[in-house]
Structure 1
Amino acid sequence: MILYTFVIDLNAFLRFMTNVFSYIRDCKLFRKFIIDDLLFVEFKCLVEEIRFGMWSDANYFVFVTNGKKMWKTHRNDYMVKAGDALFVKKGANIAHQFHSEDYCALMIFMPDDFIKKFMLKFSDTIVYKKNDELIDSDGVLRLHVDDFLLSYMKSLEVYFEAHDHPNVNVIRLKFEELLLNIFTSNKHQDISSYLCSLQASNSVQLKQIMTDNYPYNLKLEEYATLANMSLSTFKRSFKSVFNESPGRWITNKKMALATQFLKTSDKTINEIAYDCGFEDPSHFIKVFKKHENVTPLAYRNTINI
C-alpha cells in the first residue's frame, strides 16, 4: 500500500486520449492507496477551463467533494458538483473542467477481475442471470446519493485526511459493503446489470465495448486492452464477430454518426469532427469526402435545400 499527495496539472491530458487509470496508478504524485486490485485516489485539479479526452481500462466510481466537472459521452452530458457521484464504465469519454472552483473528487478504480472475484465470493447474496445481450446503458451512470452513499463518501474523506495508513481490511470490507448495496438496491439496477454483464461471453463483451466506444479517438491497441485481449487476438475475434476489419467497421460507424449529426444537429463541422473521434477537423473532412464523395459542409447544404 502506498500513499502520495499532489495537485494535478492537466496539461498532460490535452493532446491525446489518456488512460487515466494507468496515469494515476503509475504517477507517484497523487494522494492514493492501493488495496488488492483496487485503486483509491484523491483527485485535485487547479486548472483553467479545459476539455480533454480520457479512457480507462478499469471501471470507476467518482465522488465529487468540490467544484464541478462535466463528463461527455456520445449520448449525453453529465454535469456533477460537490455531493454528486458517478459510476463510469471502462472505456472512453470527454471531460470538461471548469475554472470557477478547484475541482476535487474521490475516485475508486476497479479492474474486471476484482468484480468477477467479488461476485464469486458473494454468489449466495448476489442473484443474477447470465445474459448474452448487449446492455443498453450509457458509459457514464449517475449514482443515487442516499444516506448510505453519503456516509461512505465522508468516511473516505476521513481516510485521506488521516496521517496514518488506513487499515487494509477495513477499507476492503467497507468497499465490499458499498458494492453489495449497489447489487441489491433497486436504485442502481443499471449499474448492477452492467457489472453482471462482465460475466458474458467474450464476443458479447467485445460488441459492447465497440458499441460504447467507437466514437472516440482510440487506437486498436487500446480497444484490445478494453477487451482484455492481445492485439492479435482482438483482430481475430473482431473479424469473427463483425465479419470485417476493425478499421473499416470503426470508420463506417463514425461516418454514420457524423451524417446523423449533420442531419439533425446544429453542431459545427469542428464539433462533429471531435465528437466522432477524429484527431482534427481536416482529417475528418478528408475521411468524410472519401466515404461520401462530398465534404461535410456540402452534405449538410444538400440536406437543407
Structure 2
Amino acid sequence: MVTDYKKIDLFGKTLIQKIDLKSPFYFSFPVAEQACFLYMLKGETQFKFNDNHIHIPTNYALLLNCSNSGNQLNNTNSSDGEIVIVTFHPDILKKVYERELPFIFQKNDRITNQLSGKINNDFLIQKYIEGLLFYFENPSLVNDEILVLKLKEIILLLAQTQDAGTIQVILSQLFSPATYTFKHIIEANMFSQVNVDDLAKKTNLSVSSFKREFKKIYRDTPANYIKSKRLERAAELLLLSDKRVTEVAFDCGFNDLANFTKSFHDKYNVTPTAYRTK
C-alpha cells in the first residue's frame, strides 16, 4: 500500500518520484516509451517480469525499460519500503541534449533483448539520491534549470558505474529499438565469455524458460550444444590459424585452459596441441 507519494515534473512530465510503501505492497509500472531508474532507499523488494525475479535490497537500484508489460515490484515480508524513481523520457532527453545524445543512449553492437538490470551499490549514486531528497523537502527551490542538471548528473553517474555496459544496452533501446530472434542472440554470443545465466538475461527470459526454449529449438541442452560448437570452432582455429592454444581457447568462449584441454580431449581423443601437429 502507498502511504506517501511525491513527484517533481520537468517540462510537463514526471521526472522524479518518491514513494513510501507499507508491506505487503505491489507496485506496477505503466507500459510507456520511457526508462526508469529505481533506487531502493529503504527496505527491499522483488522486481518481477515474465517469470523472472530480481531481488533489490537497500541502496541498490534497478534500471528498467518500460516498453513491455507485466513489470511489477512486490514485497510480502514485514519490511516497509521507500523508493526514489527517476524517469527518462525520450522527448525530454532530446530537448535537453539538443546537439547529440550522450554515448550511453546511442546504439550499441551487443545483440540482446535485455530490458532490465540491477545496479550494484554505488557510493556516488547514494549521494545523488540524498541530494534529490533535499528538493522533496524544499519544493520551492526547484526549477527547470536545476532539474535539467540533476537529469544530466544521474546519466553521467550511470555511465561511470561498473554496470555501464548493461545500462547502455537498456537505455539505447529508447532510441534504437530492436527485437532479435532467440536464435539470433544465441548465434551472436556463441563464442563470447558468457554462461547460461548471461544468455537468459540477453533473451529477457528466466533461466528455466531459456532452457525450455533452447531445447525446443536446438534439441539439446544449452551446455551440451554450446560446448560442442565451441570445440568445433576451436578445432578449426587450431588448423587454420597460428594462434596459441590459450588464445584459441579464449576466442572460443573458454576462460580456463585446463577445462578447454580436457573437453577437447574428450571430444577428439587428442590434446589441442597434438591435434594441430597431427
Give the alignment's TM-score, normalised by structure 1: 0.50
Unaligned runs of 5+ in 1: 1-6, 10-28, 212-252, 265-305
**Of residues 103, 107, 111 in structure 1, which corresponds to 2:85?**
107
What CA distance in whole angstroms lies between the structure 2 residues aligned with 1:127 and 1:89?
14
The amino acid across from 2:8 in the alignment is F
State the match for 1:188 in structure 2.
Answer: 164
1:162 maps to 2:138: yes
Matches for 1:225-264 after TM superposition, within 5 Å:
260=212
SS of 2:85's partner is: strand
What residue in structure 1 maps to residue 56 of structure 2?
A: 80
Contact 1:68 1:98 in 2 (8 A): no
- Runs (5+) with no aligned partner, structure 2: 183-204, 217-278
Correspondence 1:67 to 2:43: yes
Paired residue type of 1:105: I
Mapped to 2, the partners of 1:187 and 1:115 lie a distance apart of: 21
- Is 1:8 paired with 2:2? yes
State whether structure 2 residue 9 is matched by structure 1 residue 31: no
Q: After the TM superposition, which residues 114-153 of structure 1 pair with which residues of structure 2 at under 5 Å, given as runs?
A: 114-118=92-96, 120-123=98-101, 126=103, 130-131=107-108, 134-137=111-114, 139-153=115-129
The answer as to 2:155 corresponding to 1:179 is yes
Q: Distance in 2 between matches of 1:80 and 1:107?
A: 14
Residue 43 of structure 1 aligns to a residue whose secondary structure is: strand
Conserved 8 A contact 1:65-1:106: yes
| Paired residue secondary structure (2:2) | coil
Alpha-carbon displacement from aligned partner over 1:168-221 (angstroms, at most 9, x marks no partner) = 312220220211232355531211233223332xxxx2636x98xxxxxxxxxx
Q: 1:63 to 1:113 in 2, by over 3 A?
A: same
Q: CA deviation at 1:155?
A: 0.6
Structure with higher RCO (Cα < 8 A, 6+ apart): 2
CA distance in 2, matches of 1:121, 1:145: 32
Structure 1 residue 153: deviation in Å?
0.9
State the Cα distance separating 1:60 from its structure 2 match: 0.6
Cα displacement (A) at 1:107 = 0.9
SS of equivalent to 2:62: strand
Query: How many Å separate the matches in 2 of 1:171 and 1:161?
Result: 15
User: How many angstroms apart in 2 are the aligned matches of 1:78 and 1:118?
Assistant: 32
> Residue 199 of structure 1 aligns with which residue?
175
The answer to whether the 8 A contact 1:59-1:110 is kept is yes
Query: How far apart are 1:42 and its partner, in Å?
Result: 0.9
Question: Aligned-pair distance for 1:110?
Answer: 1.8
Residues 251-281 of structure 1 deviation map (CA, whole Å, 9 limit, x = unaligned)? xx9xxx69939x99xxxxxxxxxxxxxxxxx
Q: RMSD across aligned C-alpha pairs, in angstroms?
A: 3.7
Q: Are residues 88 and 30 of structure 1, via their aligned partners in 2, closer, same or farther at CA, if it must alter by over 3 Å?
A: same
Query: Which has the greater radius of gyration?
Result: 2
Q: TM-score, normalised by structure 2?
A: 0.55
Q: 1:260 to 1:53 in 2, by over 3 A?
A: farther
Letter in 1 for 2:10: I
Q: Moved runs in structure 1, 4+ residues, more than 6 A?
A: none
The one-letter amino acid paired with 1:181 is L
Q: Using the alignment, how far apart are the partners of 1:174 and 1:114 within structure 2? A: 13
